[in-house]
Structure 1
Amino acid sequence: MQRFTHNVLAAAVALVGASLIQTAHAKSLTIYTALEDDEVTDYMGAAKAAMPDVEFHVLRLSTGDMAARLLAEIKNPRADVIWGFAVTNMLDPRIHGELMQYEPVAAKKLPAIYRGKDGTWFAATGYMAAFCVNTERLKSKNLPMPASWEDLTKPVYKGEIVMPNPAASGTGWLQIAAILQGLGNDKGWDLIKGLNQNIAQYTSSGSKPCKMARTGEYAIGASFAFPAMQSIEAGFPVKMVVPSDWVGYELEASGVVKTTKNPEDAKRFLDWTLSPQAAGLYKKYKEIVTIPGAEPSEQLIKAGLPTNVDKILYPIDFEKSAAERADVLKQWQQVTAR
């Protein structure tokens, strides 16, 4: 009995010692992301299970706020990884210049449009423009169902539309970028001016217009597809309308910050974001998954997502979008000033 007790105590001490050593050597990663809160929670639960030896610190910000923070920290970067960030913003030379050249093996299998030419970033997911239309409010106001951006400029919708601010929201940016690239500057700005006449409110979040529309505050929320599909699944009186013209989209880019003190784990995390496990989770939330073989879920198709979104997306020139961003936002502020 005494020998048995001694052995148990020795094993317990060894176990505690091993735990302390593991804790002492645990490494951490600071990750900046613009992904939505609910999906970040889901993804990180799986990532922590896959990398239990790493302590994760995740900061979630809107696209505009994240860009501002990264630029403010250029001289003293605090992030190890940029994850799920609008590629238009990632291509800002000041931010792009802070990325390490690292391309996971799985990233090499992505079509060229979904990864950087210099091997500094890749995009596993993306999102596309969509209108959240509250069918009950539409009926009570005797309004027609909109089908396009052109429709939203009609006076009948005045005060019934909510849209994201493109300076703060990646969703807001992709919407006006597609309109301007699709129509050209003159006609594009004319449409944006007409649209502005009907906008009740600009929001800082891309999902908020949909959430405001689904509760009946407004008839139409110019948003992106996932919150529309989420609202439908939750039972709100919402119809998702993919505009028939200039369907903008954005890619969610990821990369390693070159000043990271933990490059190996940063690379391991990016490898995980392209794993089959991650792809399975993306299907719950994303209308665009670039990983080969990742098909949309039945719930998304039932909510109105086209089976092949590639055929309806406007072919955004992301490098042009990034280069013109500052000038476009400056003009947008002038056009929408009230």
Structure 2
Amino acid sequence: MKPSNRLRHLLAAALTSLSCAAVAADQLTVYTALEPEDLKKYADRFNADHPDIKINWVRDSTGVITARLLAEKNNPKADAVWGLAATSLKLLQQQDMLEAYAPKGLDKLNPRYVDNQQQPQWIGMDAWMAAICFNTVEAQKHQLPIPASWQDLTKPVYRGHVVMPHPASSGTGYLDVSAWLQTFGEEQGWAYMDGLHQNIKSYTHSGSKPCKMAATGEAPIGISFAYRGAKEKSAGAPLELIFPSEGLGWEMEAAAIIKGSQRLAAAKTLLDWAASEKANRLYNEGYAIVAMPGIARPVEHFPAEPEKLLIDNDFDWAAESRERILAEWQKRYEGKAEAQ
């Protein structure tokens, strides 16, 4: 090879190598428990603003993603989390697994939806809340009255007609269990779940599945969350959404950077976008409560003032008590869990 050709060849190889390195630097591995349709929508709109950042998504239910992150503590695979329960992020925080970062526009978010440390390690996106999906057609077949409260679901008339999420695999399931324990007190909370268990057909490994089952008539009653119920009802399912009188358990979808990420600049860009007004308006397309005040507009089939229905949720207690609560729950009720 002539010297000039060799020089050009080496220069081209070097440029190719640099180009590949640049592409790799702008790839993020992001873990999420977002609903699949939300994930596609969020990813498309983020990529429209930041086409230079390629996201490799890893999606599963809340419990699975949380367990995976904890298992990878000493060798993290994720760069960031976008759309995971705040109690899960608090659990990671306790294990010193999150990177402190105050995204642009942080001061515009409701402090209730932001980590309260001076250097926050996570930000909330939106709140999802419990609801009962009640199939009116199936209920009529079985002569089931419409429940108005959580306690109503322990009545013998509902035996074998209720499905709810498994709290070890589903964030919705865990928010239900922790909310009942907070609302009724631990002793009465477990007594309530003992009664409810008598009426449970199965515990699903997805928070949305009980409502989907109610929508298709596989079960008359699904304990799920309002977003899924509203979506199924809007699609024509014969559902009534019931918001029990004792108050609703709720959770925040939240975002954070995993400590040790080698792509910190791109991860910060993602967090900036997740905290933005544009992102909050996007969250409001499905969720009636979002982190940025003044953004939320009413969502079809949701109650008019949803925040008034939420319990005073102690997220720190829920995170710290998670392992103990799940062990007790599984000891009592695992026999009705659906096969994985």
Same fold, judged at TM 0.5 (above): yes
In structure 2, the residue matched to 1:172 is 173
Matched, 1:270 2:267: no
Q: Secondary structure at the match of 1:125?
A: strand
Secondary structure of the residue aligned to 1:92 is helix
Q: 1: CA distance between counterparts of 2:237 and 2:72?
A: 41
User: How many pairs are equivalent?
Assistant: 317
Q: Return structure 1 stretches of 4+ with deviation > 4 angstroms.
A: 18-24, 93-96
Matches within 5 A, 1:16-55: 25-26=22-23, 27-55=26-54
User: Once structures 1 and 2 are overlaid, which stretch shifts more, 101-110 or 233-242?
Assistant: 101-110
Aligned to 2:213: 212
* Range with bigger deviation, 287-296 or 98-107: 287-296
Letter of the 2:196 counterpart: L
2:328 to 306, 310, 331: 331
2:93 and 2:121 in contact (8 A); partners too: no
CA distance in 2: counterparts of 1:74 and 1:61, whole angstroms = 18
Partner of residue 143, structure 2: 142
Structure 1 residues 94 and 256: alpha-carbon distance in aligned structure 2, compared to 1, 3 A threshold: closer
Aligned counterpart, 2:56: 57
Residue 4 of structure 1 is matched in structure 2 by none
Q: What is the match of residue 9 of structure 2?
A: none
Q: Aligned to 2:177, what secondary structure does the other structure show?
A: helix
Residue of structure 2 equivalent to 1:124: 125
Secondary structure in 2 aligned to 1:40?
A: helix
Report which stretch shifted further, 193-202 or 113-122.
113-122
Asked if 2 retains the 8 angstrom alpha-carbon contact of 1:128 and 1:287, the reply is: no
What amino acid does structure 2 have at the position aligned with 1:103? A
- Aligned equivalents of 1:71, 1:61: Cα separation in 2: 14
The aligned counterpart of 2:229 is 228
Unmatched 5+ stretches in structure 1: 1-17
The aligned residue for residue 199 of structure 1 is 200
> Is 1:225–1:287's contact at 8 Å kept on the other side of the alignment?
no
Query: In structure 2, do the counterparts of structure 1 residues 96 and 116 end up closer, same or farther at CA, with 3 Å as the change threshold?
Result: farther
Distance 1:115 1:255 in 2: 11
Amino acid paired to 2:296: E
Q: 2-side partners of 1:253 and 1:37: how far apart?
A: 16
Mapped to 1, the partners of 2:91 and 2:52 lie a distance apart of 33
Who is 1:91 aligned against?
90
Does the alignment pair 1:315 with 2:316?
no
Give the Å deviation of 1:276: 2.4
> Are the counterparts in 2 of residues 256 and 266 from structure 1 also a CA contact under 8 Å?
yes
> In the TM superposition, what is the alpha-carbon distance from 1:230 to its structure 2 partner?
0.3
Distance 1:261 1:93, change over 3 A: closer
| Higher deviation after alignment, 20-29 or 82-91 | 20-29
SS at match of 1:91: helix
C-alpha distance in 2 between matches for 1:282 and 1:207: 17
Gap change, CA 1:279 and 1:111, over 3 Å in 2? closer
Q: 2:8 maps to which residue?
A: none
1:244-263 map, 5 Å: 244-263=245-264
CA displacement 1:57-90 (0-9 Å, x = unmatched):
1111110100111011111101111111111111
- How has the CA–CA distance of structure 1 residues 111 and 37 changed in structure 2, closer, same or farther, with 3 Å as cutoff? same
Structure 1 counterpart SS, 2:269: helix
| Secondary structure in 2 matching 1:328 | helix
Question: How far apart, CA to CA, are the structure 2 residues paired with 1:57 and 1:122?
Answer: 21
3-state DSSP of counterpart to 1:285: coil
Once residues 97 and 331 of structure 2 are traced to their aligned partners in structure 1, the CA distance between those partners, rounded to angstroms, is: 32
Pairwise CA distance, 1:330: 1.1
Q: Matched residue of 2:321: which SS?
A: helix
CA distance, structure 1, for counterparts of residue 43 and residue 292 of structure 2: 19
CA separation of 1:120 and 1:24: change in aligned 2, threshold 3 A: closer
8 Å CA contact retained: 2:123, 2:275:
no
Q: Residue 243 of structure 1: CA displacement?
A: 1.2
Structure 2: tracts of 5 or more residues without a match: 1-14, 336-340
TM norm structure 2:
0.89
1:106 partnered with 2:105: yes
| Range that drifts further, 224-233 or 105-114 | 105-114
Q: Is the 8 A contact 1:296 1:307 kept in 2?
A: no
Query: Using the alignment, how far apart are the partners of 1:237 and 1:328 within structure 2?
Result: 34
Q: Output the CA distance in 2 between the equivalents of 1:96 and 1:102.
A: 17
State the secondary structure of the residue aligned to 1:69.
helix
**Inter-partner Cα distance in structure 2 for 1:160 and 1:290:** 36
